[in-house]
Amino acid sequence: MIELRNVSYSYRTISGSTAALENISAVLPSNKVTAVIGRTGSGKSTLMELIGGITAPDSGTVTVNGLDAGKCGSSIGFVFQYPEHQLFAETVYDDIACGPSNLGIRGDELEARVTEAAELTHIGKRLLRLAPFELSGGQKRLAALAGILAMKPSVLLLDEPAAGLDPSGRRLVFSIIRSLVSGAEDMTVVFVTHSMEDAAEHADEILVLNGGRKAAFGTPSRIFTDEKLLSGCGLGLPETVKLQKELYALGLDPGEMLDVPSAFGSVCEMLGRCGVSPKPKGNV
Ligand SMILES: Nc1ncnc2c1ncn2[C@@H]1O[C@H](COP(=O)(O)OP(=O)(O)O)[C@@H](O)[C@H]1O
Ligand SMILES: [Mg+2]
């Protein structure tokens, strides 16, 4: 669990000081995925750095599972944007082993950590023996994620984890994120995204930032039914919610269409009410 209490932070530069975050309070729950959304410059990256303990707030407190974020060390895993740029070891195996090895883990325990992290991220044994540059872009992203997971963090922070991936890569990254919070171990996941679709489909809770302030915190269902809030923050609706609105305007009642799977269900149901029974051919 992450607790932000009255957190403020300003950058000091030669030209003066820029307020990046102002009086943010929120509780980001364990075993849930929280998305942070907001237009460019709204404070998302700064907030992640404060939660990650990389930067200390000017005022207020950031605690992670009850401890000051700055004192949490490797229990916070930070996956920077395009983390694959930081792969450097001779083999994928060595790269994943690097983090836990720096924590002093050796021998069987180290091997077990690498194997477990590789399994979690769908990296097969063959890939572990390759050099990082021999992997595809999507595989590199997974290898970088595996390297963080091998340190067994209880909080995982990801800045735009799906940026630049193809649709199947995006799906895989978010399915891994979901599996992390579904396990028996205590895990809090926070990701930054520019995609309203990803926030709607993959987050349990959403923190909306606007000009360094908290504009809202709530479930996707609550956030994406408040178009006024979103437009006030310079954000749009997910495509499926736009479609939902179009259908309402036609006098139809599709119900909530927050993401593609729920939109697909709604459309099938509406067709059913018209006496048409679609037979799905594959996954949406
Ligand atoms: N290193 C920095 N020095 C000075 N100002 C910064 C720095 N990094 C970010 N800022 C400012 O802080 C505010 C929040 O930035 P940031 O957290 O990067 O927003 P986001 O990630 O939402 O785009 C912006 O006004 C930005 O210009
Ligand atoms: Mg940013």
222 and 263 in a single domain? The answer is no
CATH number assigned to the domain comprising residue 87:
3.40.50.300
Q: Are residues 212 and 267 in the same domain?
A: no
Q: Which of 195, 184, 126, 127 is nearest to 161 (CA)?
A: 195
Residues 53 and 118 in one domain: yes
Distance 37 CA to ligand 2 centre (A): 10
Instruction: Give yes or no: residues 154 and 262 share one domain.
Output: no
Please report the pLDDT score of residue 254 as a whole number: 86
Q: How far is the CA of 57 from the centre of ligand 1 (A)?
A: 14
| pLDDT greater than 70 at residue 283 | no
Q: pTM, whole model, 2 decimals? A: 0.94
Same domain, 108 and 50: yes
Q: Is 46 in the pocket of ligand 1 (CB under 6 A)?
A: yes
Q: 144 and 277: one domain?
A: no
From the alpha carbon of 42, which atom of ligand 1 is closest?
22
Q: Two tokens at 168?
A: 């199947």
pLDDT in tens, 208-220: 999 999 999 999 9
- Kindly report the protein residue whose alpha carbon is nearest to atom 6 of ligand 1: 11
Tell me the best of 45, 49, 235 to mutate to test the pocket of ligand 1, counting ligand atoms within 8 Å of each CB and taking the most. Answer: 45
Q: For the residues of 214-254, what is the DSSP string, one character each?
A: EEEEE-HHHHTT-HHHHHHTT----HHHHHHHHHHHTT---
Same domain, 75 and 134: yes
For the chain, the domain total comes to 2
SS3 11: strand
For residue 20, pLDDT over 90 is answered with yes
d(Cα 194, Cα 196) in Å, to the nearest integer?
6
Identify the domain containing residue 72 by its residue range: 2-230
Per-residue pLDDT tens over the stretch 48-91: 999 999 999 999 999 999 999 999 999 999 999 888 888 989 99
Q: Distance between CA 161 and CA 138 in Å, rounded?
A: 11
Query: What's the pLDDT tens digit per position in 262-276?
Result: 888 888 888 888 888
pLDDT number for residue 280: 63
